Structure 1
Amino acid sequence: MTCSSVRWIAALVVPVAIAHHGLRKGSLDRSGAAAGFLVGFLLTLANWTFLAMLLTFFLSSSKATKFRSKQKQKFEDDFKEGGQRNWRQVLCNGGAAAQFACLYMIECGCHEHPIDFHEHFHSSVLALAVLGSLAAANADTWASELGTVLARGQPRLITNLRKVPTGTNGGVSLAGTLASLLGGALVGLACWLTQLAALGDRSLATRPPQWPLVTVGLLAGLLGSTVDSLLGATLQFSGVTEKGVVVERPGTGVRPISGRPLLDNHSVNLLMTIVTGCLTPLLAHALWPAGLH
Structure 2
Amino acid sequence: MGYCFREDNSKCCGEVEMKPVIILAGIIPLSLVFWLSACILHHYKSDVEPVSPVRFLIAVVAPVLITRWGLQRGSLDKSGAIAALLVGFLMTISNLCFFSALLTFFVAGSKVTKFRTSEKRKLEDDFREGGMRNWVQVLCNGGIAAEMAVLYLIDVGCSEKLIDFTSHYNASWFSMAVLGALCCSCGDTFSSEIGSVVGRSREAILITNFNYVPKGTNGAISMVGVAVSFVGGALVGLSYYLTLLLVVNEDYLLESPAQWPLIPICGLLGFLGSTVDSVLGATLQYSGYDRKKQCVVHHPGSGVDDISGTDFLDNHSVNLLASLLTSITAPKIAFSLWNVFLGK
TM-score, normalised with respect to structure 2: 0.83
- 1:248 equivalent to 2:298? Answer yes
- 1:95 equivalent to 2:143? Answer yes
Per the alignment, in what secondary structure is the counterpart of residue 217 of structure 2?
coil
Partner residue of 2:199 out of 137, 148, 151 = 151
Q: Aligned partner of 1:94: which letter? A: G
Cross-structure match for 2:104: 56
Distance 2:53 2:250 in 1: 25
Shift of 1:226: 0.5
Partner residue of 1:207 out of 240, 252, 256 = 256
Cross-structure match for 1:167: 216
Instruction: Deviation per CA, 1:101-158: give whole Å up to 9, x if none.
Output: 0000000000001110011000000001111110110010000000001134211000
Q: Which one has the bigger strand percentage?
A: 2
Cross-structure match for 1:188: 237
State whether residues 112 and 199 of structure 1, in contact with CA within 8 Å, keep that contact through their aligned partners in structure 2. yes
Q: Aligned partner of 2:227: which letter? A: L
Identity %: 52
Shift of 1:35: 0.4
Cross-structure match for 1:13: 61
State whether residues 151 and 176 of structure 1, in contact with CA within 8 Å, keep that contact through their aligned partners in structure 2. no
Distance 1:216 1:132 in 2: 9
Instruction: Deviation per CA, 1:40-63: give whole Å up to 9, x if none.
Output: 000000001001001100000000
State whether residues 108 and 122 of structure 1, in contact with CA within 8 Å, keep that contact through their aligned partners in structure 2. yes
State whether residues 69 and 82 of structure 1, in contact with CA within 8 Å, keep that contact through their aligned partners in structure 2. yes
Distance 1:201 1:147 in 2: 40
Per the alignment, in what secondary structure is the counterpart of residue 214 of structure 2?
coil
Q: Aligned partner of 2:83: which letter? A: A
Distance 2:320 2:113 in 1: 19
For CA contacts below 8 A with separation 6 or more, give which structure has more relative contact order.
Answer: 1
Q: Spell out the pairing of 1:59-98 with structure 2 (5 A cutoff).
A: 59-98=107-146
Q: Which moved more, 1:188-197 or 1:228-237?
A: 188-197
Distance 2:228 2:294 in 1: 25
Distance 1:92 1:77 in 2: 21
Distance 1:152 1:213 in 2: 34
Q: Spell out the pairing of 1:224-235 with structure 2 (5 A cutoff).
A: 224-235=273-284
Instruction: Deviation per CA, 1:249-287: give whole Å up to 9, x if none.
Output: 111111110000110000000001111011010000001
Q: Aligned partner of 1:246: which letter? A: V
Partner residue of 2:332 out of 282, 286, 291 = 282
Distance 2:255 2:85 in 1: 37
Q: Which moved more, 1:104-113 or 1:152-161?
A: 152-161
Residue correspondences, number: 291
State whether residues 208 and 289 of structure 1, in contact with CA within 8 Å, keep that contact through their aligned partners in structure 2. no
Q: Which moved more, 1:251-260 or 1:103-112?
A: 251-260
Cross-structure match for 1:219: 268
Shift of 1:163: 0.3
Cross-structure match for 2:166: 118
Instruction: Deviation per CA, 1:217-264: give whole Å up to 9, x if none.
Output: 101001100100000000000011012211111111111100001100
Q: Spell out the pairing of 1:251-266 with structure 2 (5 A cutoff).
A: 251-266=301-316
Distance 1:20 1:56 in 2: 16
- What's the RMSD between the two structures over aligned residues? 1.1
Is there any run of 5+ residues in structure 1 with no aligned partner, and where?
none
Is there any run of 5+ residues in structure 2 with no aligned partner, and where?
1-47
Per the alignment, in what secondary structure is the counterpart of residue 28 of structure 1?
coil
